[in-house]
Each structure stands twice: as C-alpha cells, then as structure tokens.
Structure 1
Amino acid sequence: MQFQGHHHVSMVVKNAKATDDFYRRVLGLRRVKKTVNQDSPSMYHLFYGDTTGTPGTELTFFEIPMVGRTHKGTDAITKIALVVPNVDALAYWQQRFEQFNVRHDAQTTYADKPALPFYDPDGLALVLVADEAFTPPSAWSYWAKSPVPQHVGIQGFVTTELTVADVAEMERILTELFSYTVIARDDNSMRVRGAGGLESELFVVKQDGAIERPGRGSIHHIALRVADESELRAWHDKIVQYGLVSSGIVDRYYFKSLYVKLVGHIIFELATDGPGFLRDGNIETLGQALDLPAFLEPHRADIEADLHPIDEEENDDEPK
C-alpha cells in the first residue's frame, strides 16, 4: 500500500472571516465547503481548493477565536508548498502580495525548486514553488471564477514540511510503515514520496529544541489519500501492528478517516477520496451555504446561533 498523494491539510486560525478573505480573494481558491468541526460544532471548519475540492487541493481551517499564538518548535508540521506553473508566475505573485500587503520573503529555492515564501494572516508559513515539469493529476480542475488567471494560478498543495528532532526515526516510520521512498537527502533533511509525484512529497527537516506549542497559524494535521474504506481498514491493522495507536475509522460524512500521531504534534490522517463535497451540494453553489452532516442537521438552529457570519451577503460566492 502506498499513498497516491496528499488529501488535505488542516490549520488552526483565530478569525474565519480574515482567513476566508485571504484564501478566496488573495490566493484565488474556491471555498468548497462551509461547515463546522464535527467534534466541536460551535467552530467553523472551512475548506478551500479547486472547483470541487478535489483531494490534493484542499486547505482546511478550524476557527478558534480564543486561540493563543504558536510557539515555534520541532516535531511539528511546519510549512506547506503550493505549486504554480512556472517562474513567471512567481513574479506575478510577488506583485500581488505587495498589492495586498501580504508578508513575504524574497524569491529563493525550496526543495530544489524556485520559490516565493509568504505568510497568511495567522502567520502560517507557506511557499509557492514553480515547476514547469509538474503535471497536475487529471482530477484537479482549476476554478473558472478565480480572480487569479489560470496560467499563473495555484494548482494545488504539494511538498509539506515536517520539522523533527530525529530525522532517522522519522525516516524509519515513513519508509517502514507508510512505504515512502527517499528521493533526496543531505546532513539535515530528506525528501520522500509515495506512489505519486510532487503531490505526494514530504520534506523532513531536522531541528533541535523544544516541541512546538500549537496556536493560531499552526498546522493540526496532514491527510493522505486512501482509495476506500477497505484500504482504510487495512491501514488501521498495519498501524496497530507497527506499534502506533490508530483512532479507528471515523465517518467524516464527506470522507472516512483514521488518525495516527507519529511524534510530537505530527498527526497523519488517512482519508478516503469519496464521497466528496458534492454529496450534499451541487457544483454551481458549492461552499456558499452552511452545510451540516446529517447527524448535526437537527441542531442547525443552535449551531447557527453560535457562529458569526463570514460572508458580506448570502451566497457570496464570487470574490470581488
């Protein structure tokens, strides 16, 4: 069993409205699902991605208004790379970041690719990487109403960084348990891939010191693609046999998952591709209304009363 690619990556934010503005209006992603944290329905869970939120394009956010700052450290998921078509796109994005007062660093190289590091409103570390050789998976579909032209637009998220105190230990887990292959290494880092290409890449970087204390702008977990529930059950058995603790299968309505904590605050979620976000919506209005899984629908009135509006007007679908 090998992972074909990433499924989604989930972050903690302080203000859902600021997050929504940034990822839709600045980065040009589509909000594909406005829902709530199923374990704590008083908080938003927002999903952004391509036209339908295809696995591999999804960035998701939990809003916790009272959350404190992140105390940076090791044994955490610390950076997300978003792929753009070419180096010219990096110049476009540098100008766009300056236009929207987005904090960013100078162009550099990241994971052997031309790159432009930047930060979202909560201080989450992101980086645009340019790769002309990268062919997006056929299922990925650029959102036609994005304010960013497709020829320079974000195609999906790719290399995801794990910062660890013990690279050798992480290599053992990733190669022995999860069947990743090491494709590059130096004294302080390595890159591994699953069965896919750049869309299945993890960048493991050594950093000594205290374990990160998560807060606003921290990455809660990365989810990896699993074909179906049968494969998910097989992963559960393999994880337990390896000596780690699996959450068991959890029904997340739009997909089924299991969770496993590796070290520190590095949590992997394994998530099925389906049924997907069109289960309770249609492609034209996806992400506009508050969608709730069936078991929460009877509590809609109470849930909506606990949430503050994030849209300027109802059905605010297109970025202005």
Structure 2
Amino acid sequence: MNHIPGHHHISMITKNARENNHFYRDVLGMRRVKVTVNQDDPSMYHLFYGDKTGSPGTELSFFEIPPAGRTHRGTNAITRIGLLVPSKDSLHYWKARLEENEVYHDEISTYAGRQALKLEDPEGLRLVLLAAGGEKVKHWETWEKSDVPDEHQIQGMGPVEMTVKRMDKLAETLTGIFGYTEKSRSGDEAVYQSVEGEAFGEIVVKYEDGPSEKPGRGSIHHLAIRVKDEAELAYWEEQVKKKGFQHSGIVDRFYFKSLYFRESNGILFEIATDGPGFTIDGDVESLGEQLDLPPFLEERREEIEAKLAPIEG
C-alpha cells in the first residue's frame, strides 16, 4: 500500500544568501547541508538546511533571488512553516535565544493543538516552533556541531500552513489522492495528517478570501512531500494524472527525483523520493562546505561560480 510518510522539504525565496545563511545556521542552529544552484536557473544559489545529513523531513531550502521585492501577503499560498523542538522547556530556551538575537517573535501560546512559539525570519517568513512532547523525531539526526544544545535542537518540519479560498478543493487533493486524514475541523480551519498522530506529516488548511499572495522575499514557493523511491513516484504520477492535474513528469534532481503539480487553488506541490540524498556527492563531515553541482552542470562550474557572490565572510 503506497502512502505519504510526511513532508520531504519546503522551498522559499530569499534576497540575500549570506544573511539567510546567518539566520538558519547561526541563529536557528540548523546544519547547512548543501550549497548548490537552482538547476533550472544556475545563476542563483539553492541552499539547504537540515539535520546532520539533510534527512527527508528536516530540509528547508532557499532560492536566492537578489532582485526579489517584498511579499504582498494574501490567500492561495503556503503561509507558515512549523518546526519541531523537543519540549516546552525548549520553547523557553528558544524564546530567550530569539530575544538575544533580536528576532521578532510572539509569546508562547498554542498552534494546531500544540504548545508553540511564533516567529519571523529577517525577511518576514512566518515560522512557528512546536513542542514535540519530549520524544526524538525518528528521522532526525543530531548535529553535534550546532551552537544549539542537543536537547533543544530543531528536529525538522512540523505542520505546514496553507491559506486558500477553496478549502474543499485542497481537502479533496489531500484526502482523495494522497490518503491524508482529516484530524480536526473548526470553522475556517482544518488539520490533515499523512501519518496518524504525527506532526511531521501535518497540513493546516485555513480559509481566506481576497487577493492572492504576490510572492517575494520571505515567501514560500512549494512544499515537497515524501515517497520512498522512484517506483512509488511513478504510482503517484499516475494518481495525479487520473485527477486531471497537469504535472511536470518525473524530473531527476540528482539528490532525489521529483514531480510537480499545482492543485486547484494554485498551491504548488512537489513529490520527492527519499534518495539518493545529499551524500551522493560528498561525505557526511563536509556537507554544505563547498559548491556542489549535479553532473550535468559540472562542466559549467567556472561560469557558474563567477556569477555567485561568496556566502562566507
């Protein structure tokens, strides 16, 4: 039986790779696991942050677009990213750390039924830290060199929030194609899970009418959901096709294989395989320390490097 075991990664837009690197690596304590380029436009960086190896379910990725303007918030968009931390004590640790680093945040409250701390990155990307109940997320590996103590490190992605005009259409995609179950519904908000009881496969759907979001720096480009391998990806390609959605076909991204489609509200989904992963072209100890290129771009390395501004220093 094919099923979706949770989120794979989520991709955003940043205006400045250096500042982005400082926030996610130095403030949030995540490991920068891959420095590469947008394979469709290799003039821009594509940065990945995650756990020790960039395990599926832990990855935040950013495309650097220096001319990016501000995001005009609205509906029909992915509007917040949940990040799991071990406990309520961790939320207090993070509140102090965010204050020390002058990061915009709210008070500790609740979100999607869990104790939570909302914050924004320097470009206005909306995040929320959620207490995972003290248990280690199974697919997360500790990053020993993080500035954040092991017992408070971010353990990957939690609930992802989507704000849409037509909740029923998004629900139909999640439940009718991918087998998500509706965990709760209250008024203009519903929560769906790909794995019963687990936050790492959760999508929070909110209703909002009005203008659609105009993306810019700090906006979310797409959510990728996990599949085991290429055989499962082919199965989901067929299911998406049967529902009448146009899609990209299977695309080889070297680190994983993917398929892209937009559901009826315009939300862009990627379906991505777990492997081969970020160690296919490097060892664990040196992940993210140099520019890695997929084989089909390697012959253009000199040209590509000349167009990229250094991230460090």
**Normalised-by-shorter TM-score class:** over 0.9
Match of 1:192 in 2: 192
Match of 1:157 in 2: 157
Gaps in structure 2 of 5+ consecutive residues: none
Letter of the aligned partner of 1:191 in structure 2? V
Is the contact between residue 169 and residue 265 of structure 2 (CA under 8 Å) also seen in structure 1? no
Q: Secondary structure at the match of 2:299?
A: helix
Match of 1:176 in 2: 176
Match of 1:55 in 2: 56
Gaps in structure 1 of 5+ consecutive residues: 313-320
Match of 1:318 in 2: none
Is the contact between residue 42 and residue 303 of structure 1 (CA under 8 Å) also seen in structure 2? yes
Letter of the aligned partner of 1:31 in structure 2? R
Is the contact between residue 165 and residue 265 of structure 2 (CA under 8 Å) also seen in structure 1? no
Q: Distance between the aligned counterparts of 2:86 and 2:156, measured in 1?
A: 11
Is the contact between residue 211 and residue 264 of structure 1 (CA under 8 Å) also seen in structure 2? no
Offset at 1:135?
A: 4.2
Offset at 1:131?
A: 2.3
Match of 2:259 in 1: 258
Q: Secondary structure at the match of 1:95?
A: helix
Match of 2:291 in 1: 290
Q: Distance between the aligned counterparts of 1:92 and 1:212, measured in 2?
A: 33
Match of 2:213 in 1: 212
Which range moved further: 113-122 or 163-172? 163-172
Q: Distance between the aligned counterparts of 1:140 and 1:130, measured in 2?
A: 15
Match of 2:247 in 1: 246
Q: Percent identity?
A: 52
Match of 2:123 in 1: 122
Offset at 1:265?
A: 4.1
Q: Distance between the aligned counterparts of 1:265 and 1:135, measured in 2?
A: 34
The number of aligned residues is 311
Tell me: CA distance 1:133–1:101, structure 2 relative to 1, closer, same or farther (3 Å).
closer
Q: Distance between the aligned counterparts of 2:150 and 2:291, measured in 1?
A: 28
1:4-83 superposed matches below 5 A: 4-83=5-84
Q: Distance between the aligned counterparts of 1:149 and 1:299, measured in 2?
A: 40
Offset at 1:146?
A: 0.5
1:109-146 Cα shifts (integer Å, max 9, x gaps)? 10011111001111100000112165412x32010000
Q: Distance between the aligned counterparts of 1:305 and 1:264, measured in 2?
A: 39
Offset at 1:264?
A: 4.0
Letter of the aligned partner of 1:6 in structure 2? H
Q: Secondary structure at the match of 1:244?
A: coil
Q: Distance between the aligned counterparts of 2:152 and 2:7, measured in 1?
A: 22
Letter of the aligned partner of 1:149 in structure 2? P
Tell me: CA distance 1:222–1:134, structure 2 relative to 1, closer, same or farther (3 Å).
farther
Q: Secondary structure at the match of 1:31?
A: strand
Q: Distance between the aligned counterparts of 1:19 and 1:266, measured in 2?
A: 24
**TM-score, normalising length from structure 1?**
0.95
1:45-102 Cα shifts (integer Å, max 9, x gaps)? 0000000000000000000000111110111111001111111111111111111110
Q: Distance between the aligned counterparts of 2:87 and 2:278, measured in 1?
A: 30
Is the contact between residue 232 and residue 257 of structure 1 (CA under 8 Å) also seen in structure 2? yes
Q: Secondary structure at the match of 1:173?
A: helix
**TM-score, normalising length from structure 2?**
0.97
Q: Distance between the aligned counterparts of 2:195 and 2:127, measured in 1?
A: 24
Q: Secondary structure at the match of 2:106?
A: coil
Q: Secondary structure at the match of 2:300?
A: helix
